[in-house]
Amino acid sequence: MHVLGSWLVASIVMLALDGAWIALVMKQVYTRTVQQVQGHAMRVRAGPAVLAYIMLSAALLLVVWHTYNMSLWQSVLVAAAWGGVLYGTYAFTAASVFAQFPLTVAALDCVWGAVLFGLSVLIARVL
């Protein structure tokens, strides 16, 4: 598969997996955390959410492009590293500015970012 095809597949996989993760695994945790941090219920704003996923997809494009000629496992490891860094940067920044943002949630988000990007690239490369 061509680089752009791999990127498109990885982006779709990322969106599907992240949506499932949020809806099925982390919904209660995020709902509770947002209530603690903001003092009111979570309300997702569609515009910024779309922009966030565009940025994540752009990061995946860079990963797929730069690892295209690497072995499968090298690509997956690089992707996992980048995912952990991206999600960790967001989560630990939130924890640094919001006193009620749990460090456990930040750490879990960091790990999830690594798993998410690694799996997204793995699936895209295998297809």
Average pLDDT, the chain: 95
Query: Can you say how many angstroms the Cα of residue 127 is from the centroid of all Cα atoms in its chain?
Result: 21
DSSP for residue 22: I
Cβ neighbors of 68 (< 8 A, separation 6 or more) are 3, 6, 75
pLDDT tens string 58-97: 999 999 999 999 999 999 999 999 999 999 999 999 999 9
Confidence (pLDDT) at 109: 97
CA distances from 13 to 63, 105, 119 (A): 15, 23, 8
* Percent of the residues in the chain that have a pLDDT greater than 70, as a whole number: 100
Contact 104, 36 (CB under 8 A): no
